[in-house]
């Protein structure tokens, strides 16, 4: 390629003004009043003024330019104008015989192609003058141009040019022209990295005809610094689309001290039109470096061969060096990460973990973080979470991403709905109605009314208002270490979070049905009945308050993941109702198929709760929660009281919730919870045989508890804490729960597979062996 005829080698045309006017008149029918020579690298250009107003650009091209390439450029301009008429490109004026250009004999006897274009106003502006907005908008124009060319085809598009960054490795022989050894080593590093990381994947990137040279030399800007003209299509070729963006970043920003920061603005502008694919985003920094390395190398080479043209050839080279230096000073991986972040359109920038931790502790002093060394997460996928260095963590703790972190269907549903409409629920809209109907179809028929809010706390709070209104009573019964929320009303229902000695007078607690370490044990006949009988005592203890409702998490998660036999819930519900209380099933933890048998964890017992509360997993991370209740019960709330939460049931939340239900069904996740849960449970039981500190393994589906105890069945709390830390160090995230905090809590996304269960089991085995 480097042997190819270099246009700089071929002298630019030198037509006289009179000859030019005659071509314009005879071949294009343009009567010029005056001609103004314009600068050009390899062509001769004139601004043409006419007596009746319109201005034109008259371009006599270098005879070295291939005619099929000129034909391609003409066709591309027509294509762009058709697809995106708003783009400020030149339009070719046909010759009197209808051609895009004419061949004209030059003073030297050679034949030159000559073209006339509409004249675009604007000026060539130095990059240091560009504001952040101007740079952002430049990115947008770059993307629009790429999009306008998306469907364009031309047989000459395989045009090979030195500047095409994908050909970077071919420049290696030219590196000898870099006389500074340090510089040569730096450029070599760019080439090495390119060959290792970029070249192998380039053929798989989306490719098309691209402009390929959106530098400020080829673009005119208006007074507001927005692009008013794209004037040169001489480097157009078929290449990966992302190269257009890489070239714009390198060529527009080189020489600016803030080049890397400014690049983020340019990228953001670009992705506002054309989102990047993951692989493209990951390669962008290397492609920018490739363009800068190309610039540096070709300048050095040309300087040797065309000393007369050295000034032009080297014009932008110092800026390219400075930009490449700053990329290397920051570290290519860090720059790649920043560009990747900018391409995702995130409104924040990644910080170093230690800085972030300090800032967080200062700004959010009461906001809890897991682990002695908190996990800094930047993205998730399926059962995995990733930190900024790309280390992955197997997430065995989170029920929020019930269908897997960042599930594409949920993400897409949310994004598309957000683009379409995001408002409150006081207008008529399909999503909220469909969601209500879909949920009702999964519930006992009596629960024919749905109400949507934003969090489990809010849903339990609302259920509490309904319970009090419907029963006329004011007391509640909850299990001894229950958690039902953060609000004033639900904190009262959450003994797990009560301060020392705090117990509201209107709340009574019952022992949770712990058949392993509680007062009644699984081996004893009627143990569940005996637990349930405590409800009577608790109800009586409420005195004048009377029992408005019992709140039950059917899996007793915060009580230590107890999963009692179905008879317990039946008996508990019966006794609560006998005292006139309502039964609220809090499915915030255990719902959405986690139990492996039903969508809702109360269903295995056959009870029909008066209210069902849904939350956390409902939107796979998008805040949405609900209360399902009977319309009859709702009548207790006076008509004049409006039950409305601004964000509750907004179209985006409902789109998320509907997508979650669809994914659970389509991917068979309830069955997967049963299958992988049973496998994992079996593995845990096997571990228990080897490690006596495992006192009990219990739970259903993918909500499992591993209780750690000493020989006297006393809680090994310190042990559990150490284990969660040790597992975190091994890249597996677990929690600890229960009144004594000695129960390892395994509650992964329902897309957990056997191979993941094996990773968990193996790591647990090792940690248990070494502790």
Footprint on this chain of ligand PMP (rule: CB under 6 A): 455-457, 460, 483-486, 553, 586, 588-589, 615-616
With respect to ligand PMP, which residue has the nearer C-beta, 2 or 364? Answer: 364
CA 205, CA 212: separation in Å to the nearest integer?
16
DSSP 8-state class, residue 749: -
Q: How many CB atoms lie within 10 A of CB 570?
A: 15
Which is nearer to ligand PMP, 559 or 571 (by Cβ)?
559
Q: How far is the CB of 443 from ligand PMP (least distance, A)?
A: 18
In angstroms, rounded to a whole number, what is the distance separating the alpha carbons of residues 706 and 729? 19
SS (H, E, C) 686-746: HHHHHCCCEEEEEEECCEEEEEEECCCCCECHHHHHHHHHHHHHCCEECEEECCCCCEEEE
User: Which of 484/698 has CB closer to ligand PMP?
Assistant: 484
Q: Which is nearer to ligand PMP, 273 or 480 (by Cβ)? A: 480
Nearer to ligand PMP, 593 or 615 (CB): 615
Nearer to ligand PMP, 616 or 719 (CB): 616
Q: How far is the CB of 439 from ligand PMP (least distance, A)?
A: 17
Q: Is 767 exposed, middle or buried (0-12, 13-18, 19+ CB in 10 A)?
A: buried
Q: Helices 332-343 and 278-305: crossing angle, nearest 10°? A: 130
* Shortest Å, Cβ 555 to ligand PMP: 9
Classify residue 278 as left (phi > 0), alpha (psi -120 to 50) or beta.
Answer: alpha
Supply the minimum distance, in Å, between the C-beta of residue 483 and ligand PMP.
Answer: 5
Closest to ligand PMP by CB, 190 vs 744, is 744
Beta carbon of residue 194, minimum distance to ligand PMP (angstroms, whole number): 48
Q: What angle do CA 422, 489, 650 make, to 5 degrees?
A: 10
Q: Give the nearest distance from C-beta 169 to ligand PMP in angstroms.
A: 54
Which is nearer to ligand PMP, 24 or 612 (by Cβ)?
612
Nearer to ligand PMP, 492 or 763 (CB): 492
Q: Is the CB of 703 or the CB of 740 nearer to ligand PMP? A: 703
Which residue has the CB atom at the shortest distance from ligand PMP? 456
Compare residues 589 and 595 and give the one whose CB is closer to ligand PMP: 589
Distance CA 161, CA 163 (A): 5
C-alpha dist (Å) from residue 172 to 2, 297, 302, 343, 470: 11, 9, 15, 30, 81
Give dist(CA 221, CA 223) in Å, integer: 7
Q: What is the DSSP string of 290-303?
A: HHHHHHHHHHHHHH
What is the edge-to-edge ordering of all strands in the sheet holding 547-552? 449-453, 625-629, 611-614, 582-586, 547-552, 475-479, 507-510
Decide if 435 contacts 658 (C-beta within 8 A): yes
Q: Which residue has the tokens 């991370």?
A: 621
Distance CA 627, CA 249 (A): 51
Kindly state the smallest distance separating residue 143's Cβ from ligand PMP, in Å. 39
191 versus 590: smaller Cβ distance to ligand PMP = 590
Q: Which residue has the tokens 């203890």?
A: 541
Phi then psi for residue 474, to 5 deg, are -130, 10
Minimum CB separation of residue 534 from ligand PMP in Å reads: 20
Query: How far apart (Å, rounded) are the C-alpha atoms in residues 170 and 165?
Result: 10
Sheet strands side by side (includes 379-381):
379-381, 384-386, 392-395, 732-733
768 CA to centre of own chain: 36
What minimum distance in Å lies between the beta carbon of 586 and ligand PMP?
5
Q: What is the DSSP string of 630-688?
A: -HHHHTTS-TTS----SSTT-HHHHHHHHHHHHHHHHTTHHHHHHHHHHHHHHHHHHHH
Minimum gap (Å) between residue 484 Cβ and ligand PMP = 5
- Closer Cβ to ligand PMP, 115 or 616, answer by number: 616
Token pair, residue 235, equals 């480097």
CA 71/CA 236 separation, integer angstroms? 12
Measured torsion, CA atoms of residues 69, 89, 19, 306, in degrees rounded to the nearest 10: -60
**Is 573 in contact with 607 (CB distance < 8 Å)?**
yes
List, in sequence order, every residue forming a beta bridge with 629; answer none if it has no partner. 449, 611
Shortest Å, Cβ 588 to ligand PMP: 4
- Closest approach, Cβ 738 to ligand PMP, in A, equals 13
Give the tokens for residue 377: 């997460």
Question: Which is nearer to ligand PMP, 337 or 747 (by Cβ)?
Answer: 747
The nearer residue to ligand PMP, 162 or 558, going by C-beta atoms, is 558
The residue count for the chain? 771
Nearer to ligand PMP, 319 or 615 (CB): 615
Structure tokens of 207?
A: 């490719």
User: Least Å distance between CB 611 and ligand PMP?
Assistant: 13
Give min distance, CB of 461 to ligand PMP, in A: 9
Q: Is 56 helix (H, G, I), strand (E, B) or coil?
A: strand
Min dist. Cβ of residue 423 to ligand PMP (A): 22
Q: Which residues have CB under 8 Å from 330's CB, separation 6+?
A: 260, 338
Q: Which residue number, 460 or 650, has a Cβ lying nearer to ligand PMP?
A: 460
Q: What minimum distance in Å lies between the beta carbon of 132 and ligand PMP?
A: 38
As measured in angstroms, the least distance from the Cβ of 456 to ligand PMP is 2
Q: How far is the CB of 702 from ligand PMP (least distance, A)?
A: 15
Residue 379: partners with Cβ closer than 8 Å, 6 or more residues away: 385, 386, 405, 406
Query: b vs e for 12-27, b when ≥16 Cβ sit within 10 Å of the residue's Cβ?
Result: bbebeeeebbebbeeb
Largest CA-CA distance found in the chain, in angstroms, rounded: 113
Q: What are the E-state strand segments in 342-381? A: 379-381
- Closer by beta carbon to ligand PMP, 136 or else 464: 464
């Amino acid at each position: 390629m480097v042997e190819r005829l270099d246009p700089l080698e071929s002298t630019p045309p030198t037509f006289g003004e009179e000859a030019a006017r005659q071509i314009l008149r005879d071949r294009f029918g343009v009567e010029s009043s005056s001609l103004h020579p314009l600068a050009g690298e390899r062509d001769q250009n004139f601004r043409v003024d006419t007596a009746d107003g319109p201005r034109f650009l008259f371009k006599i091209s270098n005879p070295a330019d291939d005619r099929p390439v000129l034909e391609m450029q003409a066709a591309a301009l027509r294509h762009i104008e058709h697809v995106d008429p708003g783009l400020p490109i030149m339009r070719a004026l046909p010759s009197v015989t209808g051609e895009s250009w004419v061949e004209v004999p030059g003073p030297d006897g050679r034949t030159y192609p000559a073209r006339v274009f509409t004249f675009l106003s604007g000026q060539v502006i130095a990059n240091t003058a560009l504001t952040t907005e101007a740079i952002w908008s430049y990115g947008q124009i770059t993307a629009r141009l790429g999009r306008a060319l998306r469907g364009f085809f031309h047989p000459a598009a395989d045009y090979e040019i030195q500047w095409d960054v994908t050909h970077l490795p071919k420049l290696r022989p030219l590196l000898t022209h870099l006389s500074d050894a340090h510089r040569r080593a730096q450029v070599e590093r760019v080439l090495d990295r390119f060959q290792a990381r970029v070249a192998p994947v380039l053929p798989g990137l989306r490719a098309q005809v691209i402009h390929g040279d959106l530098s400020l030399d080829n673009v005119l800007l208006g007074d507001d610094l927005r692009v008013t003209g794209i004037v040169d299509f001489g480097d157009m070729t078929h290449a990966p689309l992302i190269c257009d963006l890489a070239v714009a970043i390198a060529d527009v920003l080189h020489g600016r001290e803030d080049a890397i920061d400014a690049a983020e603005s340019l990228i953001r502008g670009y992705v506002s039109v054309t989102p990047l694919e993951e692989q493209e985003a990951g390669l962008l920094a290397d492609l920018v470096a490739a363009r800068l390395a190309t610039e540096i190398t070709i300048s050095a080479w040309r300087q040797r061969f065309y000393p007369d043209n050295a000034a032009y050839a080297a014009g932008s080279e110092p800026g390219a060096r400075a930009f490449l230096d700053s990329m290397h000073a920051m570290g290519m991986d860090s720059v790649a990460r920043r560009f990747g972040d900018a391409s995702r359109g995130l409104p924040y920038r990644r910080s170093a973990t230690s800085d972030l931790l300090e800032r967080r502790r200062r700004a959010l002093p009461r906001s809890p973080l897991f682990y002695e060394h908190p996990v800094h997460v930047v993205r998730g996928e399926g059962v995995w979470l990733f930190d900024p260095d790309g280390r992955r963590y197997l997430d065995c703790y989170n029920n929020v991403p019930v269908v897997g972190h960042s599930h594409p269907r949920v993400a897409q549903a949310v994004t598309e709905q957000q683009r379409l409409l995001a408002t409150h629920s006081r207008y008529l809209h399909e999503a909220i109605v469909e969601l209500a109907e879909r949920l009702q179809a999964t519930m006992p028929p009596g629960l024919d009314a749905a109400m949507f809010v934003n969090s489990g706390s809010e849903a339990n709070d609302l259920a509490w208002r309904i319970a009090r209104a419907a029963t006329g009573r004011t007391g509640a019964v909850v299990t001894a270490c229950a958690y039902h929320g953060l609000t004033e009303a639900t904190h009262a229902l959450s003994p797990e979070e009560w301060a020392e000695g705090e117990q509201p007078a209107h709340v009574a607690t019952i022992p949770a049905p712990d058949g392993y370490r509680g007062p009644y044990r699984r081996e004893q006949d009627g143990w569940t009945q005996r637990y349930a009988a405590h409800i009577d005592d608790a109800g009586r203890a409420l005195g004048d308050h009377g029992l408005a409702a019992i709140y039950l998490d059917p899996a007793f998660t915060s009580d230590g993941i107890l999963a009692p036999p179905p008879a317990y819930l039946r008996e508990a519900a019966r006794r609560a109702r006998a005292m006139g209380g309502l039964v609220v099933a809090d499915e915030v933890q255990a719902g959405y198929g986690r139990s492996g048998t039903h969508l809702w964890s109360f269903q295995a017992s056959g009870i029909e709760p008066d209210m069902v509360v849904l939350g956390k997993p409902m939107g796979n991370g998008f805040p949405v929660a609900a209360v399902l209740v009977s319309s009859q019960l709702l009548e207790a709330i006076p008509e004049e009281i409006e039950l409305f939460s601004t964000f509750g049931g907004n179209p985006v939340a409902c789109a998320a919730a509907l997508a979650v239900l669809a994914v659970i069904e389509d991917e068979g996740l309830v069955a997967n919870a049963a299958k992988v849960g049973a496998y994992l449970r079996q593995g845990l039981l096997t571990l228990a045989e080897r490690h006596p500190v495992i006192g009990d393994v219990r739970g259903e589906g993918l909500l499992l508890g591993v209780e750690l105890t000493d020989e006297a069945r006393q809680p090994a709390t310190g042990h559990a804490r150490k284990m969660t830390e040790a597992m975190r160090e091994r890249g597996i995230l677990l929690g600890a729960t229960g009144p004594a905090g000695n129960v390892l809590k395994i509650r992964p996304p329902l897309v957990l597979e056997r191979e993941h269960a094996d990773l968990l089991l193996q790591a647990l085995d090792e940690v248990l062996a070494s502790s």
